[in-house]
Amino acid sequence: MMEHINPFVVSGKIAPDYFCDRVEEALQLEKALSNQLNVVLTSARRMGKTSLVDFVFDKPAISGNYVTISVDILHTTTFREFILAFGTAVFDHVATRSEKLRKQFVSFLKSLSASFGYDTIQNVPTFDIKLGDVQRPEYTLVEIFDYLESVDKPCIIVIDEFQQITHYPEKNVEALLRTHIQKLSNAFFVFSGSRRRLMEEMFFSSKRPFYQSAKSIRLEPIAMDVYMEFAIRHFRQAKKEITQEAFTHVYETFWGVTFYVQRIMKDAFAETRKGATCDIHAVKQWIEGYIEENDSRIREQLAFVTEVQKELLYAIHEEGRVQSITSTAFNKKYRLRSPSSTQSAALKLLAYDMITREEKTYSIADPLMSLWLDRRKV
């Protein structure tokens, strides 16, 4: 290992040597995709779904036989925005592979043909479509799918934060996508999402269009003993040490959420000199620094939350886990205004992804938010 490489990667692709565990999940995903099955991949946010997909996409069985496409739709709010994001991803990942594929892309997308740009130097079309150019989104979707059917290799498309389509004002998006996707023979999908309740409703409710249309893979936190062995091994390879107590504190503080554990371990690795040991006192300092680093961002999040919603957020944080947010006892204990206003506030906080609901139990969704609230001055 090169001395300047920090093995705790928090952005971009992760090299196999620095990829911690996920052996079983990676094998499941690779087998499913190799067998041309659609997959629904769920976990809490920042648990490593994207990294897992990238890791599997680099496997020879996938990279050598498929064209892989990734599109994140978390930022989209309408079906037209979805089409723009999807079309851009297909152009970037597929059409740019050759001049022939570029020209085919333009010829298939007749609904947008007048809006394509052109690179006079390379003599190729460019995809500089604006949202206003997408006038007939359903028709453009069919054109994109027809194009994918014509590609020389089967395509695997990852749609990240797929549950976002349930928030579009158009009411038939799920049914529309399902109708067209089930007809494809040269394209397969990974529907990735961090709102597990919504994703499970979409794929496991018999009343929804995507019912039983994909193999389910769910990411839980990496086991602490496995993660600890990974961390200690990489510290030792760099002639450094980290105590078990220090790692355990980081893991438990951030509920085993991969991104946060990686980030604190990255700081710990960078700041620990050769021959030195990172102890619990050191990681506590880096945790405090990380909370402070995110103070402005969290305050901005809360600026869009009403007073009633904040009251409920603080109450759930104080309680830890709440089974009945509309109970008289809970509302009275935290001086909440009424069960009906509490229910309305909960729906908004769920939509903002500030709280989560698992089997009718509510809790704070983000460990970093929880840590920040611990330090909230009332």
Tell me, yes or no, whether 108 and 56 share the same domain: yes
Closest CA to 156 of 93, 103, 113: 93
361 in any annotated domain: yes
Of 237, 262, 293, the residue that ends a domain is 293
Tell me, yes or no, whether 31 and 141 share the same domain: yes
Interatomic CA distance for residues 343 and 350, integer angstroms: 11
Tell me, yes or no, whether 169 and 260 share the same domain: no
- Going residue by residue through the chain (378 aa), what tens digit of pLDDT does each one get? 445 699 999 998 899 999 999 999 999 999 999 999 999 999 999 999 999 999 999 999 999 999 999 999 999 999 999 999 999 999 999 999 998 999 899 899 999 876 777 777 776 778 888 888 899 999 999 999 999 999 999 999 999 999 999 999 998 999 999 999 999 999 999 999 998 888 999 999 999 999 999 999 999 999 999 999 999 999 999 999 999 999 999 999 999 999 999 999 999 999 999 999 999 999 999 999 999 999 999 999 999 999 999 999 999 999 999 999 999 999 999 999 999 999 999 999 998 889 999 888 999 999 999 999 998 754
Output the DSSP codes for 167-217: GSS-TTHHHHHHHHHTT-SSEEEEEEES-HHHHHHHHH-TTSTTTT-SEEE
Tell me, yes or no, whether 41 and 174 share the same domain: yes
35 in any annotated domain: yes
Of 218, 249, 282, the residue that ends a domain is 218
Domain count of the fold of the chain:
3
10 in any annotated domain: no
Tell me, yes or no, whether 106 and 196 share the same domain: yes
Please check whether residue 94 is in contact with residue 105, taking contact to mean a CB–CB distance below 8 angstroms: yes
Interatomic CA distance for residues 57 and 33, integer angstroms: 10
Tell me, yes or no, whether 74 and 198 share the same domain: yes
Tokens of 343: 């229910």
Sequence-separated (6 or more) residues with CB below 8 Å from residue 113: 106, 107
Please tell me the predicted confidence (pLDDT) of residue 47.
95
Of 218, 247, 265, the residue that ends a domain is 218
Tell me, yes or no, whether 148 and 243 share the same domain: no
12 in any annotated domain: no
Tell me, yes or no, whether 190 and 268 share the same domain: no
Tell me, yes or no, whether 245 and 360 share the same domain: no
Question: In this structure, what CATH number is given to the domain that contains residue 261?
Answer: 1.10.8
Tell me, yes or no, whether 284 and 301 share the same domain: no
Structural domain including 188 reads 22-218
Tell me, yes or no, whether 115 and 192 share the same domain: yes
Tell me, yes or no, whether 214 and 97 share the same domain: yes
